[in-house]
Amino acid sequence: MIQPLALGTVLWSRYKIVEMVGQGGMGAVYRAEDLRLEGRQCAVKEVQHEAEADFAAQAREQFHREASVLARLDHPNLPKVSDYFSEGNRDYLVMDFVAGRNLKEVMDDARRQGRFLDEKQVRAWAEQLCDALEYLHSQTPPILHRDVKPTNIRLTPGGTLKLVDFGLVKLLVPDDSRTITILQGRGTIQYTPLEQYGGDTGHTDIRSDIYSLGATLYHLLTNQPPADVKQRFLQPESLPSPRSLNPRLSPRIERAILRALEMHPDKRPASVAEFRAELHSFSIPEPLTALLPAGGEWGDAARENRTLIALALALLILAFLITLNSGL
């Protein structure tokens, strides 16, 4: 682990380090005072490169090229990147400092009180996160966050979520399903899909962010993180269903989360829009699910068309009620 900057250090003749708010093997995140804009607080993300000259030069070139992409992003659920620079063998990314608690802190408070976060509230937060990820994925080339987790999501005093820490962002290579690294990192184990363990050669795409989002919602709604993919690979039964941990959850949100947490990317939603639709899909009442075929082609068709079946059942019930009332 590298030596952190001393408090009071001034970077780039502009950013005065006030406190360190996070640290990892490749660098740290600091809260800093902007000496040119009085009263402005900012977050400074630090990345230190390895000593090899060839690698360091290549990494620095890539950092500056791709940090400029982040600086062009503008979305209400993302902190604005305002500057980037290098000093010595360290690179720095400057962005808005987001006040407020992260969602893990909010969830931990609820857990200590012996309760779960409200599903309706978590779904509202999921909407904001989907907005942020759809925006990133719609860029040219698409941008992956690769480290969606409760501690990287801050709830501002006004109720807006901010998806912070661009330390693991990746750009999708045009005309290729593979990705190139933008900043150092591998993700946090409980929220990282299996394909992300491939490192810089990993076959990651937008479905990797969907896995991390599903893992985040699982944690927020059950008060415990999901089993990591290495454990699940060896012990498929090691992932408890969300409703076994929190019986008050709706079958709808459980299905959406479990599909996002599928080990193979092809079994997950293909886009954030598809995942969002599943969070809001109609659900078949549990007593009626027992009437559906359990397996085979009919069973597969029934599972794939749950929404249409639920809508048809609702229309049948409505028609029955209308007929009953008209006969009275």
Tokens 């996160």 belong to residue: 129
Question: Could you write out the DSSP letters of every residue in 210-261?
Answer: HHHHHHHHHHHHHSSPPPPHHHHHH-GGGS--HHHH-TTS-HHHHHHHHHHT
Assign 113 to helix, strand or coil: coil
In Å, how far from its chain's centre is CA 226?
Answer: 14
CA-CA distance, 319 to 61, in Å (whole number)?
66
Tokens 């078949």 belong to residue: 284
CA-CA distance, 212 to 218, in Å (whole number)?
10
Find the helix or strand (DSSP H, E) in which 43 lies.
strand 41-48
Which position among 34, 91, 147, 165 bears the catalytic label? 147
Q: Contacts from 267-274 at CB under 8 Å and sequence distance 24+?
A: 268/207, 268/210, 268/211, 268/214, 269/207, 269/210, 270/207, 271/134, 271/137, 271/206, 271/210, 272/130, 272/133, 272/134, 272/137, 272/206, 272/209, 272/210, 272/213, 273/130, 273/134
Residue 147 known to be catalytic:
yes
Active site residues: 147
